[in-house]
Structure 1
């Protein structure tokens, strides 16, 4: 049975590391949640380390810059690991070829142009039209405020007939930008797979992002880790697959399921919803605090 808690402090001493999600937990895409920032700062002050683990399709340095613009203080975390880091490594390794049709908004240009040091001398990635491509790379819709996955069906039909693989830099289906819900790269990859194409994933809930975090932090196999997230099919599913305890933040993507008070989910509704979802995280909390 999932234990509903009021504060991270109730369980903090049981863990040495947090794998903490960003969107829906630490911020809403526009501004940070002050109580969540304070919770992470207290965890670190108590000797713990915070790894911000995000399905953002941008490498960590771009995520850090975005957090700075939002006003998230630097003492709230130790390391950032993104789906963009893991997916970018696979792209430069040639997972879908080196001539790619890129579905990406302008803000994600750094995914293609900021070459990691280990790939400086490797084959270049060339962004080409679909009819010249060896594969597809998706960081997000061209226009995340207006595009729908179905808009890409004609191009995906051609890509599937060519046998192209799709590299998905962000497995999330949707996120909430302030009070607006928008589609992510995962929604496009989901459609491509449903059409019979092959999609490759590197963020949560898939192993590469967890492996990358462990390597960067040099974590032992017995490290005491708590995953924090609002994505039942990403954060919570991924934690279960990795054998990591999880704290489900109910006030994120699924907030409408648990009653009118976002800060205090109704236990009966939470238990029923988790049973339907087939997930059993160790803990749940309304908002990270």
Structure 2
């Protein structure tokens, strides 16, 4: 796969590409596949620290479960557009900027850990679900935190622009828990905040908390606890109003699911050691996810 250099949204390195995609963003009616064919570039949105779904390792390679699925979609796009040498440009996204970057055409397909929510469907389009997570807490074994009720009066961490942030803030008001809530930009910042002791617990999706734990200095000192507060249907994002591109994405994903190929992908990332530390998540596939792969759909849980 032809991969262009990773871009930083914080710097001016992205400007030349923005100049390239802005006309396409302005002409909303232009189909994504036509835009990709014309430019011979597909722009993929990725997460920098969302282990094991989408993250960057030392050689600046984007890897993970989401990315493996995304690579199959890119292969299908190459065939459909008749562009065997299609270049892939990786754009880093965060919880806050991912939707705007898809809407304005900077990102053609966001392949991260975004939850399909009904409230978001007015802004962007979602693929079929490829993973189901629940929201819980990551805390030190000796913190005394066992469930959400134990967070009263404590400093708690979550990520900006996420379902967990919304749930945590609503809980704080409804139950008058007097929590101090810190919202991190991403999982890397969240892990650093948690390990420094600035917060007693980190609320996010359970599988991503497991990834965060694997990157701490001493993973054995951390536990995932608490009653699940929500179920999260992970899906890829693309702009609204482009049924042809969405159908291609879904057809590719459905083929992976129905053939069973996705089972090997799942085992690779959740039941075997993964980079960079060789940690095995030991996170077997749930019956809910197995049933979803048998009958792919794009249903939001909220």
What TM-score does the superposition give when structure 1 sets the normalisation length?
0.33
The structure where strand makes up a greater share of residues is: 2
What TM-score does the superposition give when structure 2 sets the normalisation length?
0.32
